[in-house]
């Protein structure tokens, strides 16, 4: 018997069930199809303004910084300001996301590079798939629009979050993912990011920038244009 067959046989022997058992199978099919939501904390809920306030407070609790701008057109200037004020080089890299590509980068002094990171970039920009108010979390999806390497290799990570994409909880992000990619399907990588990289492995001392970005700056754009 193959390892697979033997493991399934062992599970069924222990549970005292046969491979065909309609009520059990129905229960599983139903749960997978319906994906019931359980207990949802109230914290993330409220109207758009309350969600944004919660998102900001929670993200700042975990050492991210959050700036608000009126429209997408204001994003490059905000990123340029952040880099200037933190004495960081005026370079930036992002993927093919049209929401980023269409921003007026030429109006800033930023040097723009495109595509995935090879590991020698200091600063990267990504556009979030969604934000989660409950925990100040960002959801990013892989693909040419926002290459996953940009989320981890650069030192300073800028994430643009459009206010319409700020939802209450993880379950709302999953619902949006099902809507976009189809039921039971996901892109290769979905990154939920809550604050900059950290480690407490040296005597339980909190240090930022363990392997991923040392800084996480979220720019919330209230409108597209």
Partner 1 sequence: MSVAATTPRFKANVHEALHDLRLQGALPHARNFIGRRADAAARLPEFDALRDSARAIKDHTLAHLDLYLEAYEKKVVEAGGHVHYARDSDEAVAVILGICKARDAKVVTKGKSMISEEIGLNAALEREGINAVETDLGEYVIQLRGEAPSHIIAPAIHVSRDDIEADFRRAHRDLAPDRDLSQPEQLLGEARAILRDRFLSADIGLTGANFLVAETGTSIIVTNEGNGDLTQILPKVHVVLASLEKITPTLNDVAQILRVLARSATGQDMSVYTTLSTGPRRPGDPDGPEEYHVVLLDNGRSATLGGPFAEMLRCIRCGACMNHCPVYHAVGGHAYGWVYPGPMGAVLTPLLIGVAEGGNLPNASTFCGRCEAVCPMRIPLPKLMRIWREREFARGLTSPFARAAIRLWAFFASRPTLYGLAVEPAMRLLARIGRRRGRFAWLPFAGGWTRGRDFPAPQGATFQSRWRAKSGATR
Distance in Å, CB of 73 to partner 1, minimum? 26
* Residue 113 neighbours by CB under 8 Å, 6+ apart: 91, 92, 93, 121
Query: Please, which residue, 68 or 171, has the CB nearer to partner 1?
Result: 171
Nearest-angstrom CA–CA distance, 51 and 111: 34
CB 195 within 8 A of CB 59: yes
Q: What does the block give as tokens for 193?
A: 């990011």
> Among residue numbers 7 through 66, which ones bind partner 1 (CB under 8 A)?
7-8, 10-12, 14-17, 19, 24-25, 27-28, 31-32, 35-43, 58, 62
Query: Please, which residue, 8 or 71, has the CB nearer to partner 1?
Result: 8
Binding partner 1 (rule: CB under 8 A), the pick from 89, 104, 115, 223 is 115
Binding partner 1 (rule: CB under 8 A), the pick from 76, 131, 154, 196 is 196
Nearest-angstrom CA–CA distance, 173 and 186: 12
Query: Please, which residue, 115 or 223, has the CB nearer to partner 1?
Result: 115
CB 154 within 8 A of CB 121: yes
> Among residue numbers 66 through 105, which ones bind partner 1 (CB under 8 A)?
95
Nearest-angstrom CA–CA distance, 50 and 86: 29
Establish if 199 lies at the interface with partner 1 (CB under 8 A): yes
Binding partner 1 (rule: CB under 8 A), the pick from 68, 88, 142, 163 is 142
Q: What does the block give as tokens for 179?
A: 């809507």
Binding partner 1 (rule: CB under 8 A), the pick from 74, 76, 191, 215 is 191
């Amino acid at each position: 018997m193959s390892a697979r067959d033997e493991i399934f046989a062992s599970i069924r022997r222990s549970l005292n069930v046969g491979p065909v058992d309609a009520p059990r199978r129905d229960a599983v099919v139903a749960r997978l199809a319906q994906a019931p939501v359980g207990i949802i904390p109230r914290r993330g809920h409220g109207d758009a303004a309350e969600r944004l306030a919660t998102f900001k407070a929670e993200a700042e609790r975990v050492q991210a910084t959050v700036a608000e701008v009126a429209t997408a057109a204001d994003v490059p200037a905000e990123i340029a300001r952040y880099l200037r004020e933190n004495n960081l080089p005026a370079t930036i890299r992002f993927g093919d996301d049209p929401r980023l590509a269409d921003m007026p980068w030429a109006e800033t002094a930023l040097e723009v590079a495109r595509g995935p990171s090879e590991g020698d970039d200091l600063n990267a920009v990504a556009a979030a798939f969604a934000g989660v108010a409950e925990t100040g979390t960002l959801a990013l999806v892989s693909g040419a629009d926002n290459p996953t390497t940009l989320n981890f290799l650069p030192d300073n990570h800028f994430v643009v979050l459009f206010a319409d994409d700020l939802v209450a909880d993880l379950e709302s992000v999953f619902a949006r993912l099902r809507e976009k990619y189809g039921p039971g399907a996901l892109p290769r990588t979905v990154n939920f990011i809550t604050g900059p990289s950290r480690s407490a492995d040296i005597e339980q001392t909190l240090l930022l920038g363990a392997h991923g970005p040392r800084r996480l700056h979220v720019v919330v754009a209230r409108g597209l244009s």
